[in-house]
Amino acid sequence: MVDIDYYEILEVNRNATLEEIKKAYRKLALKYHPDRNPGDKEAEERFKLINEAYQILSDKEKRAMYDRYGKSGLEGSSGFEQRSYEDIMDFFESVFGESFGFSSRRRDEKYPLDLTIDLEISFNEALFGTQKEITYHYKAPCQACQGTGAKDGKLSTCPECHGRGQIYFRQAFMTFSQTCPKCNGRGEVALEKCPECKGKGFKLEEETITINIPEGIESQTRLRVQAKGNLSPSGLRGDLYINIHVKEDEHFVRYNDDIYMEVPIFFTKALLGESIKIPTPRGERELKLKVGTKDGEKFLFKGEGFRNLHTGRRGDLIVQVKLIFPTKLTAQQRELIEKLQESFGMETQKEEKKISSLFEKVKNWLKKEKKGG
């Protein structure tokens, strides 16, 4: 294990005064505060280390121990290691007060403030964008217990950890600590559960809001609605996150910003190169086939796909032809087609010649193979 250098972490020199250490801590802790770096694991780790370093270097005795013996000199003497996230946030707030406007989760909150819900929309709604009214439930503190979950809001000191939120145990010469499992590090427990909320500390409230679904939105996109999440006992409200799921359509498929559709075409129409009307997501369009259109051939309608949320550019509509052939012929149809075939006379012969020359080619290959072998 590499010993971490607390002075390096706080970016101060070994003779730094307490004032300098405090200043450095403030600067770095604010920079790496999780609320300023949401989802950034590295920043969170850094934030923890900065707090750990400050706890040691701001304490005269601990600092002296650390200077003499390094980190191992501190082991067993304090419980700074493996502190829970909540503990660190509390420590941070105890040093600086709560005047930074961070929505850090506090001990009195029994549930996270941000709320995530799922919303299914249709292919068309994703293509054109829409306004949607949604009704959902969020958590609000139970009035009877002020969100504590304890009867009449009366919490008692946790008998397991005696209010420290951490429990310690020794193994050989090392002391380990972990978050108290009885109170989850809160230091307080409800000995008697609130009868209103059965100890949960919250009740569900219903809310209806109207949200804008932007044109071109993709499945798995997360929309954020500020201050529409869960409500904390202190009156803070988290954000609402809406996970968008776009339902699959029977006829149209999205790939990146393009739309793919397959159009069944009777073979005679393709042979004749007719123009046919087809239904597309943006209305009826004319598909101009050409003489000899092949099965699987693609036709492009530029700019008729999805609008890209980032670039604003529109993808294309790609129409793929699927040729349909009859599986049964009447005597009359057979006669007509035979006549048609005859009328191509030369062409069919050409085809036959091609096929026989292909057979010759393959025969020759086989002969060569035998000789070579």
- What's the min distance (Å) between Cβ of 201 and Zn ion? 6
Tell me whether strands 240-246 and 115-121 are parallel, antiparallel or unpaired: parallel
- What's the min distance (Å) between Cβ of 86 and Zn ion? 13
- By CB under 5 A, residue 368 contacts Zn ion: no
CB 88 within 8 A of CB 47: yes
Q: Of the listed pieces 56-64, 104-112, 134-142, 354-362, which binds Zn ion according to CB under 5 A?
A: 134-142
- By CB under 5 A, residue 24 contacts Zn ion: no
- By CB under 5 A, residue 317 contacts Zn ion: no
Burial 189-220 (b: 16+ CB within 10 A, else e): bbeeebeebebbbbeeeeeeeeeebebbbeee
CA atoms within a 13 Å half-sphere pointing along the CA-CB vector of 78: 18
Size of site (CB under 5 A) for Zn ion: 12
- By CB under 5 A, residue 218 contacts Zn ion: no
Whichever of 89 and 155 has its CB closer to Zn ion, that residue is: 155
The neighbouring-strand residues paired with 178 are 167
- What's the min distance (Å) between Cβ of 185 and Zn ion? 7
Q: Return d(Cα 28, Cα 289) in angstroms, integer.
A: 67
Q: At what angle do helices 85-96 and 18-31 cross, to 10 degrees?
A: 130
- What's the min distance (Å) between Cβ of 182 and Zn ion? 5
Whichever of 184 and 219 has its CB closer to Zn ion, that residue is: 184
The neighbouring-strand residues paired with 240 are 115, 225
Tell which one of 144, 223, 225, 276 touches Zn ion (CB under 5 A). Answer: 144
Tokens of 158: 């946790």
- What's the min distance (Å) between Cβ of 129 and Zn ion? 42
**Cβ of 262: how many Cβ atoms within 10 Å?**
14
**Contact mark string toward Zn ion, 331..350, x via CB under 5 A:** --------------------
CB 4 within 8 A of CB 71: yes
Whichever of 6 and 138 has its CB closer to Zn ion, that residue is: 138
- By CB under 5 A, residue 197 contacts Zn ion: yes
Tallying the residues shown for the chain, one arrives at: 373
- What's the min distance (Å) between Cβ of 143 and Zn ion? 8
- By CB under 5 A, residue 180 contacts Zn ion: yes
Q: Of the listed pieces 21-29, 143-151, 301-309, 355-363, which binds Zn ion according to CB under 5 A?
A: 143-151
- By CB under 5 A, residue 150 contacts Zn ion: no
Measuring CA to CA, which residue among 290, 128, 274, 136 is closest to residue 205?
A: 136
- What's the min distance (Å) between Cβ of 183 and Zn ion? 3
